[in-house]
Amino acid sequence: METLSFILFICLFFALVPLLFKTSLSHPLPFSSQSATFHQPQSAKLNSHSIMAHFSNSVKLKYVKLGYQYLVNHITTLILIPLILGIFIELLHLGPDEFHKLWNSLHLHPVQIVCSSFLIIMIFTVYFMSKPRTVFLVDYACFEPPVTCRVPFATFMEHSRLILKNNPKSVEFQMRILERSGLGEETCLPPAIHYIPPKPTMEAARGEAQLVIFSAMESLFRKTGLKPKDIDILIVNCSLFSPTPSLSAMVINKYKLRSNIKSFNLSGMGCSAGLISIDLARDLLQIHLNSNAVVVSTEIITPNYYQGNERAMLLPNCLFRMGGAAILLSNRKSESSRAKYRLVHVVRTHKGSDDKAFRCVFEEEDKEGKVGISLSKDLMAIAGEALKSNITTMGPLVLPASEQLLFLFTLIGRKIFNPRWKPYIPDFKQAFEHFCIHAGGRAVIDELQKNLQLSAEHVEASRMTLHRFGNTSSSSLWYELNYIESKGRMKRGDRVWQIAFGSGFKCNSAVWKCNRSIETPFDGPWSDCIHSYPVHIPEIVKL
C-alpha cells in the first residue's frame, strides 16, 4: 500500500511540474529600466512589489526545475546506489557460517556454471559484434576565397544595374533583398560572374570547381598528413553542377587515387547534401573495416547565376556565394586519439511526397527560356514542417529524460484536461552545447532561433558565417563549426547539432561529440578576421 501511494505521489508531481512551468512562461517578467527610478508614485511602488514577487517566484521555479531535472536524469543512479549499498552492508553482517549456508543453498552444479558462463560470453559476443562501429571526424578544411573574388554591395548592385538595365524593378528588388539579407561586404563570387555580362561557360564552371575543391583538399592533406593513396572512400556533393566526367572523377584524376576506391558523386540534393554525404560515408564505414572516407561538399555558382527578370529566381543571386569543405572520416581505432569529433547520430527527413514541398525549391526555365532556381513563398512554412518532423525523431535520441517526461505529460494534459495549453517545447540546450544552423538566409536562422528558444550566442556562428561568407550551400555548416573552434569555445565532451535544409524538400541533422578540447586554429577561413567578430548586423543596411 505504501509503495502504491509513493508511485501515485510521483505521478502527481510529474503532472503538476509542467503546469508550474507553463504558468511561469505565460507570465513573463515585466522588468524594464524605466521601473528603476528613485521617486515613484504609490502605483509604481505596488508595481515594484509585484515585480519582486514575480522575480522571487521565477527564481524558485528555476531551482524547482533544476532539482526536477537532476532527479529524473539521475533516477537510476539514485535508486541503484542505495540498493547496492544496502545489499553490501547486509552481506558484511553475515558470519562465515551463514555465508557458507547461503552459498550452499544456491545448489550450483559445475555443469550449470559452465553453461551459464558460455551463455553470458555468447550474449556479450553478439552484442559487441552487432554494435555499430565508431566513426571519427579526424579533421576538416574549408575553402577560403581569394580577395579578388570579393563582391561588396556597391559592386553587386552596379553589376545588377548593367545586366538588368531594361528592368529597373528587378534591380530595386535585388537591392531590397540585399539590404535585409544579413550578408556582409566580403562575400565572394567566382571570376566568371564578375564579367559584364557574366560568362557562365562549362570551362569557367570547371575552373571554379577545381579552385574550390582542390584548395580544400590540399588544406586537408596538410592538416591531417593524409596521403592520396590512403583514401578508401570518396564522396563529392554538388547540387547544381554535374558535369561528365563527374567531380569525383576529377578529384581521382588530379590526385591519382587508387583504382579500387569507392567513389560517389551526389547532385541535385540541395543545401542539405553535405549531411547526406556524411550519412552515406557512415554506412560505408560500417562495412569497410580500417578505412578512410573523404567527403567534399560544395556548390558551383558559375553556371547558375540567373540573368532574367523573375523575382523568385533573382533571390538566389543575392544569397549564394563561393564556398566548399573537405572532411576526413575514419573508422580506424588508431585515429581515435587525434580525431576532433565522434559521429553520434544522423537523422534524415524527406517531405518529397507532398507536391508543395517538392516544388518549393525548383530549377526551371522562365518565360524567356532562362534557367534559374525558383524559391516558393511557402518555403519557410514547409521548412518548419520538415524541421518539426526531424526533431520529433531526434528528440528521443538526445533529450534527457526530464525533458521527455515534461513533453509527454504536457501532451497528455492537453488531450485530457485542457486543449488550450501551449505545447511544451523541449529545451534542446540541455542536449547540445553548440548549434550549427544552415546559413541559408536571415529568415531561416531567425525562425529556428525562435522555435528552438535559442540564445543569440547559440546562433552566433550561423549569423556570422552568413555575414562573412554568405550562403555557401552544403558547406556552410563547416564554416560555422570552424567559427566556434576559432573562438576557442569547443571543449572535450561538447555536443554539436548540425541542421540543414535542402530541395526536395529535406531537413537533415547530424550530432557530433567532441573528443578533445580543440585549440584555436591559426589557419583556416576565419584566421584573418575572427578578432573582429561577432559584429552587429542591422535589420536593414541602406544601400
327-364 pLDDT, tens digit per residue, is 999 999 999 999 999 999 999 999 999 999 999 999 99
Say if 204 falls within a structural domain. Answer: yes
188: helix, coil or strand? strand
pLDDT of 411-430, one tens digit each? Answer: 787 778 777 777 777 888 88
What do you get for the CA distance between the two ends of the chain, in Å?
Answer: 75
The verdict on pTM exceeding 0.85 is: no
Which three-class secondary structure state does DSSP give residue 72? helix
Provide the 8-state DSSP code for 272. Answer: G
What is the model's pLDDT at position 2? 40
The reply to whether 114 falls in a domain is no
Total number of domains constituting the chain:
1
Instruction: For CA atoms 175, 181, 183, 189, give the dihedral sign.
Output: negative
Enclosing H/E stretch for 375: strand 371-375
Residue 417's CATH number: 3.40.47.10
What are the DSSP calls for 30-68, one per residue? ---GGG--SS--HHHHHHHHHHHHHHHHHHHHHHHHHHH
> Which cell numbers in the block locate residue 136?
571519427
Would the pLDDT of 45 be above 80? no
Which has more confidence, 171 or 103?
A: 171
Pure H helices in 230-378:
247-255, 273-287, 311-319, 355-359
385 or 295, higher pLDDT: 295
**Residue 221 CB-half CA count within 13 A:** 12
Q: How confident is the model at residue 165 (pLDDT cuts 50, 70, 90)?
A: confident
Instruction: Give me the count of residues in the chain.
Output: 543
Extract the C-alpha cell encoding 279: 550519412
119 lies in some domain: no
pLDDT at site 107 = 66
Residues taking part in catalysis: 271, 350, 434, 438, 467, 471
Q: Hey, what amino acid is at 195?
A: Y
- For residues 136 and 329, the answer to whether their CB atoms sit within 8 Å is yes
Distance from C-alpha of 182 to C-alpha of 441, rounded to nearest angstrom: 7
- SS3 of 462-528: the string is HHHHHHHHCECHHHHHHHHHHHHHHCCCCCCCCEEEEEEEECCCEEEEEEEEECCCCCCCCCCCCCC
Q: Is residue 2 part of a domain?
A: no
pLDDT band for position 410 (cuts 50, 70, 90): confident
C-beta separation of 453 from 425 below 8 A: yes
User: Do the domain assignments include residue 436?
Assistant: yes
Residue 73 lies in a domain: no
- The mean pLDDT value of the chain amounts to 84
Contacts of 104 (CB under 8 A, 6+ apart): none
DSSP state of 320: B
Residue 46 cell numbers, joined? 505596488
Q: 48 in a domain, yes or no? A: no
DSSP state of 337: T
Q: Which residue range is the domain that position 468 belongs to?
A: 135-519
More confident residue, 100 or 42: 100
- C-alpha 308/C-alpha 93 separation (Å) is 88
Grid cell at residue 170? 528587378
pLDDT at 293: 98
531 occurs within a structural domain: no
What is the pLDDT confidence band of residue 111, given thresholds at 50, 70 and 90? Answer: confident
